Every structure is written in structure tokens, then in C-alpha cells.
Amino acid sequence: MFVEQLYTGCLAQGAYYIESEGEAAIIDPLRETTPYVRKADKAGAKIKYIFETHFHADFVSGHLDLARKTGATIVYGPNANTAYEVHKATDGEVFKLGNVWIKVLHTPGHTLESTTYLLIDENGKDQAIFTGDTLFIGDVGRPDLAIKGDLTERDLAGMLYDSLHTKIMPLADDVIVYPAHGAGSACGKNMSKETTDTLGNQKMFNYALRAKSKAEFVEQVLEGLSKAPAYFAQNARLNKEGYEPIDQVMQRGTQALSPVEFEAAVNETGAVMLDVREAADFANGFVPNSINIGLNGQFAPWVGALIPDLKQPIALITPAGLERETIVRLARVGYDQCIGYLEGGFLAWQQADKEVDMIESISADTFAERLKQQPDALVIDVRKPTEFEPEHVEGAENLPLDTLNEHLAQIPRNETVYVHCAGGYRSMVANSILKARGFDQIVNVEGGLAAIRKTDIAVVATPAVNH
């Protein structure tokens, strides 16, 4: 028996490859299927099953393409109604894979169809659980994403408590927990940077498993949940109803466009121009009205948060050699309408004598000097409220990046606005959006709060409110 976690940092997502005696199963695969097929081919194994723990909301699963290419059976747990053919398993059903078994444990709560898969070895010993979004390392799945009909988030939280206490916690302490996500995912609020652990450790250290009652569990799990990203519901729908084959998406997106063709295609389709270069490179010059979301960050989730329509045409500006990777990473979250990329990148645009825009970007030390000269200058911090409240520049206004488009009316157009985040990634995203919306007096603060702390700028906490 062989088990491998295939972890993707951008999405903080774990897919799994299980192999025994020439038969393989994939759990929660990402959109691109080639890595799974190659791994099985190299081992001389046949992919027999594709197990889905639930209808994922934060990424588009690769189950349909993988099934088409390998003939594997897609397996969901109870309550999973799809628009395509699957094996809808019953609670307790067992699947044989080589000389091991995979048992279905229906664990509703995160969603109604959420299912945990228990791996049992050739000796009948429970080895591991693949928990999807039911149980994370340090947390449990949020119960507010699948509210339907008369069900409330409290109802789902209660179901989650029952699932954990009747299906998972009775298992032995040495059972290994393999979750679908780790720190950085919006599917939970308190996930560890560790991507696997023993169930015994989780019983001791996971706050949600230590709750003394169902009522306490419900309160703890619902407390402090952030707003779900806008694209979550659309991704869940694609996973339930189906989507375009990845090969077609790649063929359309990998069209190389000259600067003239690129400009014409954008004008014709209304495409968003998405520049995925580093923030510093973008600041020094970019195609006017393009948006910067760098590949070297949580690229796909930020695209999902800031481009609300999955069907929005997108034209890419990338570093040389990263065109295909960018298209794949967009497809992972359902953005399939990439119309092509600027051949030769931004340099080709410059060499064609096309118009170029820039964003003023200053060091934290320069920012400090300017604040001394103009203490009442408007400073916008685009971090999350939970980051802003413990420490922020005195007098700064908090406009989180994921809500920026909703608050443009609050930002003056006729005065200088300084924008920063924690380290510089999100502030350039924000500045690119503002620039494209006609804000011409924006200034980026390089290095964000991490750099600002090293200056003599006053950093304060939001005063506690007494109720």
C-alpha cells in the first residue's frame, strides 16, 4: 500500500494518491489530470476510483476529466446529486483497492454530502482517514457554505458535531488524518500549517474536538467566520453540474497574441487584462488598465475574490514561459475563458511603442518622511480586519482587498492616497484596481506593515469596545 499527499500551496489544497497491487485511487483531484495519470503510469497501476469528499467550493475538481481519460469510477457519498454519472455510495459501503479497502463514512455538516473515507489495510487495521473539509488539522470545516431551504448554519454545525463524534472520534488515536486543506484556505478559520497529523493529537489540540457540548461546539465553530469568497458558489455548481474539458480550455488560452492582436482582442471581447508579474515589475510599467495579481502569491483565490464572473474573458500578460501555468491555475478555480496571452510579455508591448502606465511605489522610510510633512494624509490598509485590529498605522483606514470594489466611493480622487498591506502583494493588487478605475494619485508603500514597523511611524491597535 502506498499513500501520497499531493499538496498545492496556492490553494492550500491536498489531493491524495492511493495505490495497492496495481490499482490506484485519487481523492479530491485538482483540475489538471496529467500528474495523476503519469504517477499511475509510472507505477504500472490503473486508476480505478476517484473519490470526492464533497462538492468543493474553492476549486474545480478534476474528477470529470480524470474519469474520461482513465475510465475510473467517480464516487461521492450520500446526498450527492450530480448532472453526470457517478457511483453514489451508501454510508458504510466498502470499496476494494488491490488488497486494501476504503470505507465510506458519511459525515455531513460542512455540506450535506460531505463524506470521509477510511483506509483499511490488508490486515483489517484502520490506517488513515481522508476527511475533506469535515476535519482539518487544528480546525473543522465551516458550516455556513451549504445552507439550503430551512437549514441554517447552526443546523449544519450541529450535524458536523454529530458526524465528528459518531464517525471520526471513535476511531483509534494512531489513525492518520489527511484533510483537503491547510492554512491559507478560506474553508476554515484556524487551520494549522501542518498538512497531516494523527487523530489522537487532534483530539487533544483541535479546539473544535475539545468542545464540552454540542452547544459549545456550535458557538465556537460559528464565531469569527469571514465572508465566503464570491466564487465559492459558482465553483460548487461547476463541480455538481460539470464543466468544459481542460484540454479545450488550454487550447483556447494558449493563443499567442502580438501587441496589435492583443489590443484588438481585448477591445473586441471586453477581456480583463490580467498581469501576473511581480509587484515591483508591474509598478515600473504595465499595459494601461491591466490588473496585477501576481503568480507568486495566493493567485487563484484572489482572482476568485476580485473577478466576480467566471465567464469573464481574460487576456494574460505573464513572464516568459509561465503562460501555461497561469492558464492552469485560472482553470483550477473555474476561470476557463482565457482568450490568449501577450506574446513576448510586457517587453513586447514596450517595443511596439504602445502606451505604458506606472504606479508610484515608495519605501517605508520615504513613507515615514512624507507622513511627517503631511500627518493627515489618507492611508489605506487593505489587509483583513483581523489583521488590522491588532496593529495598524495610526489614523489608517481599513478597506480589505476583497471588498475594495464595493468601497471605491469612499476614496477621494483629488488627493494623494497611500496604500499598503502586510508585505506588498495585496497593496499592488489594490493599486492596480484603483489605477484602472481612474485613481491617479495613489502611492504604493513597499514592504507593507512589515517594513513600516521598522520606521518611527506610530503603529497602534484598535481600542477594545466595552459592551
> Per residue in 208-266, pLDDT tens?
999 999 999 999 999 988 888 888 999 999 999 999 999 999 999 999 999 999 999 99
What is the CA angle 23-27-33, rounded to 5? 80
Supply angle C-alpha 218, 223, 224, rounded to 5.
Answer: 155
Q: pLDDT by residue (tens digit) across 48-95?
A: 999 999 999 999 999 999 999 999 999 999 999 999 999 999 999 999
State the pTM of this model.
Answer: 0.91
Instruction: Quickly state the pLDDT bin for 464 (edges 50, 70, 90).
Output: low
User: pLDDT-derived band of residue 122, with 50, 70 and 90 as boundaries?
Assistant: very high
Which whole number is the average pLDDT over 418-426? 97
Backbone angles phi, psi at 160, to 5 degrees: -60, -40
Phi and psi of 108, rounded to 5°?
-65, 155
Determine the pLDDT at residue 184. 82
Euclidean distance between CA atoms 293 and 47, whole angstroms = 36
Could you tell me which residues come within 8 angstroms of residue 77 by beta carbon, excluding any fewer than 6 positions away? 53, 54, 88, 89, 91, 104, 106, 113, 114, 115
pLDDT at 275 over 60: yes
B/e letters for 20-29, b = 16+ CB within 10 Å, e = fewer, are beebbbbbbb
Judge whether residue 169 has pLDDT over 70. Answer: yes
Query: Which of helix, strand or coil describes residue 29?
Result: coil
Angle at 350 between CA 347 and CA 354, to 5 degrees: 140
**pLDDT exceeding 90 applies to what percent of the chain?**
90
Q: Are 62 and 246 in contact (CB under 8 A)?
A: yes
Residue that has been written with the C-alpha cell 468544459 in this structure:
244
CA dist., res. 428 & res. 275, Å (int)? 11
3-state secondary structure of 380: strand
| Pairwise CA distance, residues 63 & 53, whole Å | 11
Does the pLDDT value for residue 147 go beyond 80? Answer: no
Name the one residue in this structure whose C-alpha cell is 489605477.
435
DSSP 72: P
Q: Which of 338, 331, 348, 359 is nearest to 418 (CA)?
A: 359
Q: Does the pLDDT at position 148 exceed 80?
A: no
The alpha-helical segments, DSSP class H, found in 98-231 are: 153-163, 199-205, 214-222
421 is catalytic: yes
Whether 391 has a pLDDT exceeding 80, the answer reads: yes
Catalytic residue among 10, 187, 338, 421: 421
Computed over every residue of the chain, the mean pLDDT equals 95
String of DSSP letters for 283-324:
HT-B-TT-EE--SSSSHHHHHHHH---TT--EEEE--TT-HH
pLDDT tens-digit series, residues 187-208: 887 788 999 999 999 999 999 9
Residues 6+ apart with CB under 8 A from 237: none
The one-letter amino acid code at 258 reads S
Average pLDDT over residues 266-282: 97
Beta-carbon contacts of 64 under 8 Å, excluding residues fewer than 6 positions away, are: 74, 84, 242, 243, 245
List CB contacts of 462: < 8 A, sequence separation 6 or more.
388, 389, 390, 392
Nearest CA among 173, 154, 171, 169 for reference residue 216: 154
Distance between terminal CA atoms of the chain? 57
Other CB atoms within 10 Å distance of the CB of residue 96: 13
Q: List pLDDT tens digits, range 90-104.
A: 999 999 999 999 999
What does the pLDDT look like over 290-306, one tens digit per residue?
999 999 988 988 999 99
Q: Looking at residues 358-362, what average pLDDT do you find?
A: 97
pLDDT tens-place string over residues 343-357? 999 999 999 999 999
Give the whole-number percent of the chain exceeding pLDDT 70: 99
On the question of pLDDT at 467 being above 50, the answer is no
pLDDT digits (tens, 9 = 90+) for 16-54: 999 999 999 999 999 999 999 999 999 999 999 999 999
CB-based burial label for 69 (10 Å; 0-12, 13-18, 19+): middle
Count Cβ atoms within 10 A of the Cβ of residue 156 and give its class: 0-12 exposed, 13-18 middle, 19 or more buried.
buried
Q: Is the pLDDT confidence value at 322 over 70?
A: yes
What does the alpha-carbon distance between residue 163 and residue 165 come to, in Å, rounded to a whole number? 6
pLDDT given at position 465: 45
Give CA torsion, residues 174, 175, 179, 182, to 10 deg. Answer: 10
